[in-house]
């Protein structure tokens, strides 16, 4: 029997105004997940997409020397319409290699046309409408204020418990919703 997949802690805009998210890896994209895990811990910049709608983007370039490991990925659990909180990896080909993180309505495309990426990671804690207020605020903030740093790392049990406790505290401080 195989080991369970680790949880991923995503920290956007590290510092006093940071937003953290806990993510679950998809068993439907095993090769993409394996490649992503080999990158961790991974630190980069999030920028707003140009063509796709409400999503954030991490361009990985188009130089075959640095993207060949991505180009070798098969299509796995691929889509052009990720739900909010879904991460895609586009291995490259028609457009450059990139990560895409939807925070709202998204139709993944480039100036070359429609693209499909491998859905390999989903943010936990989306509400009934499939939206996280923190994720939406992050996306809109990047749209209007520019790029922010982001770090992806395997979440230890201690990190998960700290994340959950901070969420519980925030809900108590915010009070009931009307």
H or E, element range at 45: strand 42-48
Structure tokens of 132?
A: 């996280």
Rounded to whole angstroms, the Cα distance separating 42 from 54 reads 23
Q: What percent of the chain has pLDDT over 70?
A: 93
SS3 label, residue 7: strand
User: Is 81 in contact with 88 (CB distance < 8 Å)?
Assistant: no
Quote the mean pLDDT of the chain: 89
Sign of the C-alpha dihedral computed for residues 132, 45, 147 and 18 taken in this order? positive
pLDDT grade for 169, boundaries at 50, 70 and 90: confident
pLDDT of the residue at 176: 61
| CB atoms closer than 10 angstroms to residue 49 | 23
Q: What is the pLDDT of residues 12-50, one digit of tens each?
A: 987 778 899 999 999 999 999 999 999 999 999 999 998
pLDDT grade for 106, boundaries at 50, 70 and 90: very high
Residue corresponding to tokens 């490649």? 35
Rounded to whole angstroms, the Cα distance separating 32 from 5 reads 13
Instruction: Indicate if the pLDDT at residue 54 is higher than 70.
Output: yes
pLDDT grade for 1, boundaries at 50, 70 and 90: very low
């Amino acid at each position: 029997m195989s080991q369970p997949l680790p949880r991923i802690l995503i920290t956007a805009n590290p510092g006093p105004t940071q937003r953290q998210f806990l993510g679950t890896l998809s068993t439907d994209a095993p090769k993409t997940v394996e490649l992503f895990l080999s990158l961790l811990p991974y630190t980069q910049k999030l920028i707003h997409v140009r063509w796709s709608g409400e999503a954030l983007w991490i361009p990985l370039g188009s130089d075959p020397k640095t993207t060949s490991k991505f180009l070798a990925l098969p299509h796995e659990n691929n889509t052009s319409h990720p739900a909010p909180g879904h991460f895609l990896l586009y291995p490259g080909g028609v457009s450059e290699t990139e990560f895409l993180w939807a925070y709202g309505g998204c139709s993944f495309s480039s100036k070359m046309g429609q693209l499909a990426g491998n859905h390999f990671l989903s943010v936990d804690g989306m509400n009934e409408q499939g939206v996280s207020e923190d994720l939406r605020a992050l996306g809109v903030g990047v749209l209007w204020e520019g790029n922010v740093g982001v770090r992806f790392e395997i979440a230890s049990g201690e990190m998960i418990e700290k994340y959950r406790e901070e969420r519980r505290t925030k809900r108590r401080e915010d009070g009931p919703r009307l």
